Amino acid sequence: MSAPAVFFYLFGAAAVVSALAMVLNVRNTVAAAMSLVVTMISLAVVYVTLEAHLVAALQILVYAGAIVVVFLFVVMLLNLRRDTFAPSRQLLTKGAGVVLALGVAGAFLQLVPQALPTVQEIPPDFGSYAAVGRTLYRDFVLPFEVTSFLLLAAIVGAVVLAKRRLD
């Protein structure tokens, strides 16, 4: 097995384990946020094995850096009690959930591997800053500009929502 494949399986498993640790941790929200950091960094390594170098760098900057820091800020501001899972539903609902999950998993294992394409050869600059930048600014200029409006709306919305009183 080649080195990228080894790292893919290793850090893919790490991402799954820390994601489970995040979802199942009901005692401590800060620890859950830290598990989210581990998931994000593991996924950045997974992105590198998929030759997505620019996206891996942005994953660490934006997710593991900015987004989790915002989460930790909010956890610090709030006084969180111990969480519990939602009360268990009726037997029929649980059974329906199990049947649905098994059906989806079976369909996935049966159908998806046949439908997937074979992995093609890639050019040597695949996923580099220059190549992604060319695609972004040549073919996707309009979506790129529209995201700036989305960010502006999100900034204004966050300030309006979190402000105590609007004058």
**Closest by CA position to 34, among listed 44, 26, 22:** 22
Query: What letter does residue 124 receive in the DSSP assignment?
Result: T
Nearest distance in Å: CB 157, another protein: 5
CB 42 within 8 A of CB 13: no
Nearest distance in Å: CB 43, another protein: 6
Torsion, CA 131, CA 134, CA 136, CA 141, rounded to 10: 180
- Please state the φ and ψ torsions of residue 42, each to the nearest 5 degrees: -60, -40
Q: Taking CB under 8 A as the rule, which mask of x and - marks residues 132-161 in contact with another protein?
A: x--xx--xx--x---x--xx-xxx-xxxxx
| Residues in 52-91 at the binding interface with another protein, rule: CB under 8 A | 52, 54-55, 58-59, 62-63, 66-67, 70-71, 74-75, 77-78, 80-81, 83-86
Residue 123 is encoded by which pair of tokens? 């050019």
| Residues in 16-55 at the binding interface with another protein, rule: CB under 8 A | 16, 19-20, 22-23, 26, 29, 32-33, 36, 39-40, 43, 46-47, 49-52, 54-55
Nearest distance in Å: CB 96, another protein: 14
Angle at 120 between CA 116 and CA 124, to 5 degrees: 145
Q: What count of other Cβ atoms lies within 10 Å of the Cβ of residue 18?
A: 21
Nearest distance in Å: CB 1, another protein: 8
| Residues in 108-127 at the binding interface with another protein, rule: CB under 8 A | 108, 112-113, 116-123, 126-127
